[in-house]
Chain A
Amino acid sequence: MKSGPGRAEPADTQSKAERHLEVAGVTKRFGSTVVLQDLSIAVGSSEFVSLLGPSGCGKTTLLRLIAGLLVPELGTISVGGRDLTRVAAHRRNIGVVFQNYALFPHLTVAENVAFGLKAQRVAKPEIEQRVREALALVRMESFGDRSVLALSGGQQQRIAVARAIVVKPSLLLLDEPFSALDRKLRETMQIELRHLLRELGITSIFVTHDQDEALVMSDRIAVMNEGRIEHLASPSEVYSRPRTLYVMEFVGQSTRIAGRVAASDRGTIAVDTPYGQISAAGSFAPNTNVVVGVRPEAILSGENADAGFNTIRAKLFDVVYFGPKTNLLFEAKAPADHLLMEIARLPQALTAGRDVALRWRIEDTMVFPAP
């Protein structure tokens, strides 16, 4: 299911569960700056969707709008069929895990977790039991009486999650919850959280600027740019068949070559580039300026007589070793071009300065209108 500006979803083709969260036509302004423009997105029940984009793209604003901490100028926000647009934040029952956790330093761990339950005036014995269960879920059972200030980053993060889920929210929002953790811990926590949320079946929206994180954790990714969703699809779809040039460049690495359409015939185009002619699927009129893209791991070196391949020639100028992989950088003939190839092991014959033939399957070629 794809969503984007100006595309209205036919309501009857989707079941209620698929539209557990529905954001429709939301516009948000700060003073004279428009941060979100006519944005729509629907998230299904128990789904995990990431909002991925650079700082300033509006992803945190969208999150805060859903939470009720901000009110949109236009548009509606509904959860479970209930219009929440004008409902105050404290009545939405939407859980939020904040970037720096926002734990209450004047309360113990258990009191932090019990906070939302107290607000709902749950009976004391029930509070104690639910707090215990929540702490067990995040594997922090023995920490109840501790001060939150004595916890490590990872521990604080888990308490923040426990606090948000103990109130059984209809939706869980997470604002870059792992950004303050170091890499190894981050990877562990990502997997842990994913399992936990899947087990509980909570619908989750996750904000991040780290595309690796989004790829690992999400059922679907919404790639955002300047207040708009450029592509909303599964991770593999976003990676292999990005909808726009921006998405291709933001998610993963890519080889990009600018060219002009020479010929177009029955869904296939031929693009002239300084490195050779490239074929791709697409329907652009001749003489259109386009950008051709390929994922670096799809590129192979050497000529091949098979018809299904695009072949170009380029001069190797740098080799970058990453451990499990090596990146080969080739000289670009135009300033906006970027020629990158990824391989597991460097063949001895390939040294800097050599003129190399590069090939890849025609169906792996992506074409976009030039910006």
Chain B
Amino acid sequence: MARVGMIFCWAMLTLVLIFLFAPIVIVVAVSFSPSTIFSFPPDGFSWRWYSAILSNEPLLTSVWLSAQVAFLATCASLTLGTLCAIAVVRGLVPAGKAIATFMASPLMLPGLVLGIAFLQAARGAGLRDAYTTLLIAHVVITMPFVMRTVLASLAHFDFAMVDAARTLGYSYPRALWKVLVPNILPGFVSGALFAFIASFDNYPVSIFLVDVRTKTLPIQLLNQLEMSPDPTVAAASALLILGTVVALIICDRLVGLRRMASI
């Protein structure tokens, strides 16, 4: 009977995998469909929707915007978060644990609530520039990912190495760069990756902060779906999936997916 139990579990796992990948596979399949109808199985093969992307200006602009925001936000939270994590791990600040929890807490709040809070605060502060507000909000969103992975990496790091680098001739900041960063690279890279993806794909916060001229990719995709649905959206989605897979592979080459997953 235990045998049957295990077979059942493996069957469930297989079904789950099929289930999870079905929408993804379908989106990719639809992106190659020659017609404007979203039907599966697709009746033909065509690149037309991919080339349609190239002439779809709002879409391209939104991709560029999302990439910019994600990149800048990730860099900012990597810097601020790592410095803070160092101070916490070294016991340099009182209530270090509480601070670490605080820095990671945006993840515990519903994204929607955050978005509303940002909107209110920005309006109250007289901040009308959507780009800046978006950037600030995305640093907040990405911070928990950085904090969690960097803190975990730092826990295994021997700070005597930084002292050693200092006695060998490097100032404190340069010592951190030469010795700390290379050794917490898995935490760094996985934190940066999750942060980038979280920012790039974010909807609940961004929806409140975009305006007519400043739209991030998810918002733009949804707008297009509502207004003029055609498989261009599927093509863009397929490219997004491809991009994510490539990023994961690069990280695996650089750092090792196994190491990343254990952190």
In the complex, what residues of A have CB within 8 A of residue B165's CB? 104, 115
Which of B1-9, B65-73, B168-176 lies at the interface?
Answer: B168-176
In the complex, what residues of A have CB within 8 A of residue B248's CB? none
Cβ of A228 within 8 Å of any chain B Cβ, yes or no, is no
Cβ of A185 within 8 Å of any chain B Cβ, yes or no, is no
Contact: A90 with B167, CB < 8 Å?
Answer: yes
Q: In the assembled complex, how far is the CB of residue B254 from the closest CB belonging to chain A, in whole angstroms?
A: 13
Smallest CB gap from A163: residue in B: B168
Contact: B167 with A94, CB < 8 Å?
Answer: yes
Q: In the assembled complex, how far is the CB of residue B161 from the closest CB belonging to chain A, in whole angstroms?
A: 5
Partner of A119 from B170, B172, B183 at Cβ < 8 Å: B170
- Decide: A90 near B183, CB < 8 A? Known: A69-B163, A98-B164: no
Contact: B166 with A90, CB < 8 Å?
Answer: yes
Q: List 12 A-B contacts (CB under 8 A).
A: A67-B167, A69-B167, A89-B163, A90-B169, A90-B170, A90-B171, A90-B172, A95-B167, A100-B160, A102-B161, A102-B164, A104-B164
Partner of B169 from A98, A100, A102, A167 at Cβ < 8 Å: A167
Rounded to whole angstroms, the CA-CA distance of A104 and B169 in the bound complex is 15
In the complex, what residues of B have CB within 8 A of residue A88's CB? 166, 171
Contact: B168 with A116, CB < 8 Å?
Answer: yes
Cβ of A105 within 8 Å of any chain B Cβ, yes or no, is yes
In the complex, what residues of B have CB within 8 A of residue A163's CB? 164, 168
Q: Work out how many contacts link A and B, with CB atoms closer than 8 A.
A: 62
Contact: A167 with B161, CB < 8 Å?
Answer: no
Contact: B163 with A106, CB < 8 Å?
Answer: no
Cβ of A96 within 8 Å of any chain B Cβ, yes or no, is yes
Using a CB–CB cutoff of 8 Å, the interface residues on chain A facing chain B are 67-69, 88-96, 98-100, 102-106, 115-116, 119-120, 163-164, 167
List 6 additional A-B contacts (Cβ < 8 Å) besides A90-B169, A102-B161.
A89-B166, A98-B160, A104-B165, A104-B183, A115-B165, A164-B168
- Decide: A90 near B175, CB < 8 A? Known: A69-B163, A104-B161: yes
In the complex, what residues of A have CB within 8 A of residue B164's CB? 96, 98, 102, 104, 163
Partner of A96 from B163, B171, B179 at Cβ < 8 Å: B163
Contact: A100 with B158, CB < 8 Å?
Answer: yes
In the complex, what residues of A have CB within 8 A of residue B160's CB? 98-100, 102
Q: In the assembled complex, how far is the CB of residue B175 from the closest CB belonging to chain A, in whole angstroms?
A: 7
Max count, chain A CB within 10 A of own CB: residue among B163, B170, B183: B163
- Decide: A98 near B168, CB < 8 A? Known: A105-B183, A106-B182: no
Rounded to whole angstroms, the CA-CA distance of A90 and B166 in the bound complex is 5
Closest 4 pairs between A and B when the two form their complex, measured CB to CB: A119-B169, A116-B168, A102-B160, A102-B164
Rounded to whole angstroms, the CA-CA distance of A69 and B158 in the bound complex is 16
The A-contacting residues of B in range 143-173, CB under 8 angstroms, are 158, 160-161, 163-172
Rounded to whole angstroms, the CA-CA distance of A9 and B115 in the bound complex is 69
Contact: A98 with B183, CB < 8 Å?
Answer: no
- Bitwise, B180-201 to A at CB < 8 A (1) or not (0) is 0011000000000000000000
Contact: A115 with B168, CB < 8 Å?
Answer: yes
Partner of B158 from A67, A102, A167 at Cβ < 8 Å: A102
In the complex, what residues of A have CB within 8 A of residue B163's CB? 67, 69, 89, 96, 98, 102
Q: In the assembled complex, how far is the CB of residue A30 from the closest CB belonging to chain B, in whole angstroms?
A: 12
Rounded to whole angstroms, the CA-CA distance of A104 and B158 in the bound complex is 10
Rounded to whole angstroms, the CA-CA distance of A116 and B169 in the bound complex is 6
Contact: B179 with A120, CB < 8 Å?
Answer: no
Contact: A69 with B168, CB < 8 Å?
Answer: no
Rounded to whole angstroms, the CA-CA distance of A94 and B163 in the bound complex is 12
- Decide: A69 near B166, CB < 8 A? Known: A88-B171, A99-B160, A102-B158: yes
Rounded to whole angstroms, the CA-CA distance of A237 and B172 in the bound complex is 42
In the complex, what residues of B have CB within 8 A of residue A102's CB? 158, 160-161, 163-164
Q: In the assembled complex, how far is the CB of residue A344 from the closest CB belonging to chain B, in whole angstroms?
A: 44
Smallest CB gap from B167: residue in A: A96
In the complex, what residues of B have CB within 8 A of residue A119's CB? 168-170
Q: In the assembled complex, how far is the CB of residue A308 from the closest CB belonging to chain B, in whole angstroms?
A: 53
Rounded to whole angstroms, the CA-CA distance of A90 and B253 in the bound complex is 35
Rounded to whole angstroms, the CA-CA distance of A91 and B179 in the bound complex is 18
Contact: A104 with B179, CB < 8 Å?
Answer: yes
Q: In the assembled complex, how far is the CB of residue B111 from the closest CB belonging to chain A, in whole angstroms?
A: 37
In the complex, what residues of A have CB within 8 A of residue B158's CB? 100, 102
Q: In the assembled complex, how far is the CB of residue B179 from the closest CB belonging to chain A, in whole angstroms?
A: 6
Contact: A106 with B183, CB < 8 Å?
Answer: yes
In the complex, what residues of B have CB within 8 A of residue A116's CB? 168-169
Max count, chain A CB within 10 A of own CB: residue among B158, B165, B167, B183: B167
Smallest CB gap from B159: residue in A: A102
